[in-house]
């Protein structure tokens, strides 16, 4: 199944209602730090990373995480959710990208914030030649899995004990969304990675 980026469900919260989704830049590092630490603190079982590891990052390390795209949803100027995108460096994997650091405040879930975030991220991905979005989610996070399924993601694999921590073990579900290519039949878009951008970002931000 492929999905055109305008087709995401629950993605109709209008701008006049105060919702704005935009990519963060380096000067927004404090917004990113605030939301990321909030996510790890409030939802510790949803992420492979732990609060303590991120809380001790230097300012330089926080800024490095913004070398690849991080989108934040602002509602009346207040950040309420985020979604990151991680491109692959290897040429034969350049058509793939991973969703990472996905978080929406509980009080705003089901309101369309997550779907608007996904739409912006998918638009950005397609503009950069991405044909396939991938993610890993705790197999017991049924709320998140249902959301991704509604947006067209399909489960393609399961990693036993993919998450071990906080005194428990949880399987990891791998999900994939094929994006409808923005080019004609038979054409292949190859995304090249500038040398200056290679290996300048952390390998894992889950």
pLDDT at 170 over 60: yes
Q: What percent of the chain has pLDDT over 70?
A: 79
Q: How confident is the model at residue 203 (pLDDT cuts 50, 70, 90)?
A: very low
pTM listed for this prediction: 0.79
Q: What is the pLDDT of residue 186?
A: 41
Q: What is the pLDDT of residue 206?
A: 62
Write the DSSP assignment of the chain as a string of letters.
Answer: -EE-GGG-TT----GGGTEEEEE--GGGHHHHHHHHHHHHHH-GGG-SS-HHHHHT--HHHHHHHTTS-EEEEEETTEEEEEEEEEE--SGGGTTEEEEEEEEE-GGGTTTTHHHHHHHHHHHHHHHTT--EEEEEEETT-HHHHHHHHHTT-EEEEEEEEEEEETTEEEEEEEEEEEEPPSS-TT--------GGGTT-S-S---
Smallest Cα–Cα separation from 179: which of 103, 101, 124? 124
Q: What is the pLDDT of residues 71-102, one digit of tens each?
A: 999 999 999 999 999 999 899 999 999 999 99
CA distance 161 to 83: 24
Q: What is the pLDDT of residues 39-78, one digit of tens each?
A: 999 988 888 888 988 999 999 999 999 999 999 999 999 9
More confident position, 6 or 80: 80
């Amino acid at each position: 199944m492929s999905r055109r980026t305008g087709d995401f469900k629950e993605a109709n919260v209008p701008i006049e209602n105060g919702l704005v989704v935009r990519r963060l830049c380096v000067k927004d590092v404090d917004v990113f730090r605030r939301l990321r630490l909030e996510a790890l603190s409030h939802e510790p079982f949803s992420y492979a990373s732990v609060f303590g590891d991120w809380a001790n990052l230097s300012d330089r390390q926080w800024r490095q995480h913004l070398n690849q795209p991080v989108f934040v949803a602002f509602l009346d100027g207040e950040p309420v959710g985020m979604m990151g995108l991680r491109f692959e460096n290897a040429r034969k994997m350049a058509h793939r990208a991973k969703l990472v650091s996905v978080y929406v405040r509980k009080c705003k879930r089901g309101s369309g914030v997550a779907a608007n975030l996904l739409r912006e991220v998918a638009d950005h991905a397609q503009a950069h030649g991405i044909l396939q979005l991938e993610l890993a989610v705790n197999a017991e996070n049924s709320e998140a899995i249902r959301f991704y399924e509604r947006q067209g993601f399909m489960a393609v694999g399961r990693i036993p004990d993919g998450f071990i921590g906080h005194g428990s073990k949880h399987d990891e579900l791998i999900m994939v969304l094929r994006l409808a290519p923005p080019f004609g039949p038979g054409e292949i878009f190859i995304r090249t990675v500038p040398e200056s951008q290679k290996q300048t970002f952390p390998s894992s931000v889950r």
